[in-house]
Amino acid sequence: MKIEQLSDGIFEVIVDDKKILVTHNLCPGHSVYGERLIVVDGVEYRQWDPNRSKLSAMVLKGFDIPIEYDSHVLYLGAASGTTVSHISDILTDGLIYAVEFSSRTMRDLIMLCEQRPNVIPIFADANKPRSYAHIVEKVDVIFQDVAQPNQAEIAALNSKYFLEDEGHLMLSIKSRSIDAVSNPKKVFKEEVKKLEGAFGIEFEILQRKELDPFHEDHLGVLARLFVDENLKQQNSFKS
């Protein structure tokens, strides 16, 4: 079997003439949500289904994934931990803070956390980053998959608190949860515009692509926190 590395910790295996996205399994022998385990050269990998995970779809759509082996990641909207488990696979020397606000899915997430030493569960509302500001440190990447009408605001607020200078923000925008009726393209445009500076924090949009056919009416966005160099110099001068 041929295996090729696409980005840190993310691989592509060719099985039966089909390309399959996989991550290196952090706890071998365990399948988290019933995904296929594939062994290549004695190393176990877990299949990463783009139809279930927006991040996986983003990889296949050609995004440059900013997550590295030793990144610290804040994941908003962790749900049962499907995608979280794969990021945990990637972060062999990193850490992921998984924020979720539903007690039903938190139950599954905690069970996942107990298996994986690099996942930290936080039961909190992503709308109120201040309520977990005493727990989360500065992170390199924020991944957001919350499907809320005020998605952009949530992303901006959390970035203000927790994103490192020039850190990356990845988000999947679900147009239907923002406005179920109007045209998705229009919704995407407005949301991206909001990110570019409506909440007192600026992002530089690096990549944006719709996630079809894996997820309908979803837009994947990769952005970098924009830091004003002049302002930064002033601040360092002060201290």
Q: State the Cα angle at 26 between 25 and 27, rounded to 5°.
A: 95
The pair of three-digit structure tokens given for residue 197, joined into one six-digit string: 């500076």
Residue list 145-174, contact with other proteins (CB under 8 A)? 160-161
C-alpha pair distances (Å), 29 with each of 2, 139, 140? 21, 30, 30
Q: Are 116 and 110 in contact (CB under 8 A)?
A: no
95 belongs to the binding site for other proteins (CB under 8 A): yes
Restricted to residues 170-229, the positions that interact with other proteins (CB under 8 A) are 180-181
Binding other proteins (rule: CB under 8 A), the pick from 2, 29, 42, 103 is 103
**Strands 10-15 and 18-24: what pairing?**
antiparallel
**What are φ and ψ of residue 116, in 5° steps?**
-115, 120
Closest to other proteins by CB, 90 or 122: 122
Among 1, 14, 43, 133, binds other proteins (CB under 8 A): 133
Residue 132 binds to other proteins (criterion: CB under 8 A): yes
Q: Which residues on adjacent β-strands are paired with residue 208? A: 221
Q: By CB under 8 A, name the one of 131, 166, 185, 193 that touches other proteins.
A: 131
- Please pick, from the candidates 19, 51, 135, 233, the single residue that binds other proteins as defined by CB under 8 A: 135
**Looking at the DSSP assignment, which residues form a beta bridge with residue 11?**
5, 22
Q: How far is the CB of 53 from other proteins (least distance, A)?
A: 22
117 part of the interface to other proteins, by CB under 8 A: yes
Rounded to 5 degrees, what angle do the CA atoms 223, 229, 234 make? 135
Distance between CA atoms of 49 and 34, rounded to whole angstroms? 11
Task: Give least dist CB 18 to other proteins, A.
Answer: 37
Instruction: State the minimum distance, in angstroms, from the CB of residue 133 to other proteins.
Output: 5
What is the spatial distance between Cα 19 and Cα 128, in angstroms, rounded to a whole number? 40
- Residue 205 beta carbon to other proteins: minimum distance, rounded to whole angstroms: 22
Residues, the chain: 239
Q: Out of 130, 185, 189, 193, which residue is the one contacting other proteins (CB under 8 A)?
A: 130
Q: Residue 16 CB, nearest distance to other proteins (Å)?
A: 39
Interacting residues toward other proteins by CB under 8 A: 95, 103, 106-107, 109-110, 113-114, 117-124, 130-138, 160-161, 180-181, 239
